Amino acid sequence: MHVLVAYAGISGSTGGVACRIADGFHVRGLMATCLRVTDIGAVRRYDAVVVGSGVYDRAWLPEAVDFVTARVPSLADKPLWLFSVGAPGALAHPLDHWVVQDAGAVAAPFAGIVRPLGTRVFAGVVREEQLSARSRMTYRLHGGHYGDHRDWDAIGAWADDIADSLKAPIPVPRGRIAAVPSHRA
């Protein structure tokens, strides 16, 4: 099984999460390739796909949205998972809860066109120099704190869950076997 872990990000935080997911697949005996969405052509050669994006202004980056929407026919017959990397963990309670609750808005561009088997929101890295002066002031007023907020254990656990589902045998229906039509006259 070969899994593609595709990502879009600006500062490296999302790429770090994506590569950690791919590393988790390797440890579990799966082949995995971690690439920026802009470096990927067709996805036909992959057996499963995980796509992630940094979240800015409560939305995925345009190149990540374009990657998924341009490949809907190819993704339709593959196991698919989506993840986002954003502010949860960097904001003071109760704002961090609000950001996680709002995570559904991140997948809004895909409603009705893809059906991921799972989605997750992970905290990222927030550095002061990444924000404009106005954004820094707003961020601090809302209780934000700078630093690397990625939860490597949670990211690894999610990769393990995906690997387990990919390695699980296909369930055989139990119970009655449907009657085979008879061709007797």
Where residue 32 sits, what CATH number does that domain have? 3.40.50.360
Whether residue 172 lies inside any domain: the answer is: no
Whether residue 78 lies inside any domain: the answer is: yes
Q: What digits encode the pLDDT tens for the residues 89-111?
A: 445 445 444 444 445 556 667 87
Segment 20-49 mean pLDDT: 96
Whether residue 184 lies inside any domain: the answer is: no
Whether residue 24 lies inside any domain: the answer is: yes
Where residue 168 falls among pLDDT bands split at 50, 70, 90? confident
Q: Distance between CA atoms of 34 and 50, rounded to whole angstroms? A: 9
Query: Who wins on pLDDT, 111 or 142?
Result: 111
Query: Who wins on pLDDT, 159 or 148?
Result: 159
Domain coverage including residue 6 = 2-167
Segment 15-37 mean pLDDT: 97
Tokens of 67: 């990657």
Whether residue 180 lies inside any domain: the answer is: no
Share of the chain above pLDDT 90, in %: 46
Q: What digits encode the pLDDT tens for the residues 151-167?
A: 999 999 999 999 999 98
Residue 148: beta bridge partners?
Answer: 125
Whether residue 109 lies inside any domain: the answer is: yes
Task: Give pTM, 2 decimals.
Answer: 0.80
Q: Distance between CA atoms of 91 and 87, rounded to whole angstroms? A: 7
Give burial (CB, 10 Å; 0-12/13-18/19+) of 21. buried
Where residue 170 falls among pLDDT bands split at 50, 70, 90? low
Whether residue 80 lies inside any domain: the answer is: yes
Segment 39-57 mean pLDDT: 92
Whether residue 65 lies inside any domain: the answer is: yes
Tokens of 107: 């997948």
Domain count, the chain: 1
Give burial (CB, 10 Å; 0-12/13-18/19+) of 92. exposed
Where residue 55 falls among pLDDT bands split at 50, 70, 90? confident
